[in-house]
Amino acid sequence: MKISQRVQNLKLSPIRKLAPYADAAKKAGKKVYHLNIGQPDIETPPQFMDAIKNFDEKVIAYGASKGEPFLIEAIQKYYAEKGMNYEAGDIFITNGGSEALTFAVMALCDPDDEIMVFEPFYANYTTFATEFGAKINAVTTSVENGYHLPDAAEIEKHITPKTKAILLTNPGNPTGVVYTEAEMQTIAALAVKHDLAVIADEVYREFVYGGEYKSFGTMPELDNNLIIIDSVSKRYSACGARIGCIISKNKEFCQQINKCCQGRLCSPILEEVGAAALYTTPVSYLEEVNKEYQKRRDTIAAGLKSLPGVAASDPKGAFYVMVKFPVDDAEKFAIWLLENFDVDGETVMFAPGNGFYSTPGLGVNEARLAYVLNREDLKRAIYILGEALKAYPGRTC
């Protein structure tokens, strides 16, 4: 049996690829504080399970390929309350935000086409592009200016005849950046000028800490170019439900997405029932969760600030922070933490930063930390990191 070159070109996720080391550490009796993955410990609203328990059909049959009407209506209502009005035909339910992104790339790109991103970026964007022979065209941003975008002229230098889309997360994963209205207008103007799609991954939009947040969906000049990616995963702490959606007012694009949906038959009906109920969750739930994450952000920021030689971003949204460690190689450091280090039987796992870059050599001494643990666990995890940095043989300063 021969394996395709296409799948061999895929890379392991920097978020998950060190899992075997963590499993071995746990088998050895260590407690591992997981800062590597954006899995909230916030309780999923009870509406989800209540709706599934009340499901009373005699047969779990195929659902509608584009999604059940009751879930689409719930999403329409959610967006209308935020000043964005979409027809039912603009919305397609997907198996998580990941499938929505996969469908977007499939509909937009032929082999060797390019998708522009701003690095560091969510690592799986590379996988979604590579699956269809497309390429990531990365524009580098830096911690020095909070990972904000370069000016329009610099971005435009990276647009080529092969560029089909600009893909960005707002608020940002892994950086926590929240783009300003001026930055968004720059992206919109370039997209319209060069007839590019804007793929706006907005799954973290409810997690913004101070300041204003603007959705690309509120920009009418983008109506024909915009694709919104959304999900219940982070918003309602329902990552395992795997229900997301792809939204666009571009009718031709929607016709092609409908083919993708039909090809995979349908999303799981029970999860759609639960997801629709999540959209009835009181706004107070989201407000309280937002406050809790802001406290966690402040907790991890204070802890990182106390570690000599460590530089960290100042996240304004989502629940991630990028850090620079005074080490030779963050991935080696991560493995060493799991294999060779503990404090009273406890250690830490994080996602090495090089996997969030496309440019070779960048991110080698960086890491993404997810502040999804409770504040006491975050304090403990940062303390362990500090002790590890003192002992790590590859420390550089």
Tens digit of pLDDT for each residue in 169-216?
999 999 999 999 999 999 999 999 999 999 999 999 999 998 889 999
> Which pLDDT score is estimated for 196?
98
Q: What confidence score (pLDDT) does residue 268 get?
A: 95
pLDDT digits (tens, 9 = 90+) for 327-354: 999 999 999 999 999 999 999 999 999 9
The pLDDT assigned to 120 comes to: 97
> Which parts of the chain sit beneath pLDDT 70?
none
SS3 for the chain is CCCCHHHHCCCCCCCCCCHHHHHHHHHCCCEEEECCCCCCCCCCCCHHHHHHHCCCCCCCCCCCCCCCHHHHHHHHHHHHCCCCCCCHHHEEEECHHHHHHHHHHHHHCCCCCEEEEEECCCCHHHHHHHCCCCEEEEEECCHHHCCCCCCHHHHHHCCCCCEEEEEEECCCCCCCCCCCHHHHHHHHHHHHHHCCEEEEECCCCCCECCCCCCCHHHCHHHCCCEEEEEECCCCCCCHHHCCEEEECCCHHHHHHHHHHHHHCCCCCHHHHHHHHHHCCCCHHHHHHHHHHHHHHHHHHHHHHHCCCCCEECCCCECCEEEEECCECCHHHHHHHHHHHCCECCEEEECEEHHHHCCCCCCCCCEEEEECCCCHHHHHHHHHHHHHHHHHCCCECC
Structure pTM?
0.95
